[in-house]
Amino acid sequence: MEQPSAESMQTVAAKAPVTSRRKLNTELNEQMPKPYLARALVAVDPNCLNGSKGHHHNNMSVLQQHVAFFDRNKDGIIYPWETYQGFRAIGFNIPISLVAGLFINLTLSYPTSSSWIPSLLLPIHIDNIHKGKHGRDSEVYDTEGRFVPAKFDAIFGKYACTFPDKLTYSELQAMLKANRNVNDLFGWVAARAEWSFLYNLAKNKEGFLEKEAMRALYDGSLFEYFEKQYASRKTQ
C-alpha cells in the first residue's frame, strides 16, 4: 500500500498565507480517536471523550439536543412562547426573550415544516431541525445534525489568537466573517444573531467564550446548566 508523503500531509501552503494564519491541529488524531468521524449522539473533544457528564441524549442528534431544551412540554415542537420561556429560564430579560421567540421561530419554522403551507403559530419541528441549517456556518454540525470534532477543534486552531482554548468577541466575529457565504443575507443575519445570544449567555467574567462552554452549547447541556443556576439565584 502506498504511504502518504510528508508533502501530502501538509496543512500550510506558502503561497496561501491564510493557511498559515488559520492553523489546524495536526495532533488531533493522537489526542482522540477518529476526530473526523461525525458523532450522532454526543459532542466530544479531547478533554471530553464521552460527551457532557449528566446530559442525556435521548437518542436525538446533537443538533436536536441543542434545540430540545426549548421544547418545554417535550412534544417535539417548539412554539414561540416556548422559545421565550426557555430564554427566560436561562436568565435573559423580557425584551430579549421576546425578540428571540419571534426571530428564531420566524426563521426556523418553515424550513423545518413538513408542509408547503406555513403555520401562523410558527412551530419548529425538532425532527426536521437539520433542514434549518443556514449559510455562514462553522460546519461543526454536519448536514444531518451530527457533531464533527475536527471542525469544532478547527474553530480554536484558526481563530483563538489570544488563548488557545478561548475566543474573544472579535475572534468570534472573525470566525463568522470567514465562514460567510456570498450573497447569503439570511445566513449572515441568522448566524450573527444566534452567536450574539450565545456569547452573551456563555462568556466568562473576562469576556471570553471558553472551549468547554462552547462545546456544551452544541449539545444544549449548557442551557440546562444555566437554567439550574438561574433558578437557584431566584430562590436565594
pLDDT of 181 over the 80 cut: no
Q: Which of 85-94, 150-159, 193-202 has the lowest mean pLDDT?
A: 193-202
Where do we find the cell 474573544? Answer: 168
What is the reported pLDDT for 92? 93
What is the reported pLDDT for 148? 96
User: How long a stretch of residues is the chain?
Assistant: 236
* Average of per-residue pLDDT across 220-235: 90
Predicted structure pTM score:
0.91
* Average of per-residue pLDDT across 57-72: 97
Q: Which of 6-15, 77-86, 110-119, 140-149 has the lowest mean pLDDT?
A: 6-15
With b for 16 or more beta-carbon neighbours within 10 A and e for fewer, the 82-95 pattern comes to bbbebbbbbbbeee
CA–CA gap between residue 18 and residue 135 (Å, rounded): 21
Inter-CA distances, 132 with 8, 67, 154, 162, Å: 36, 11, 23, 32
Beta-carbon contacts of 187 under 8 Å, excluding residues fewer than 6 positions away, are 134, 135, 136, 137, 180, 181
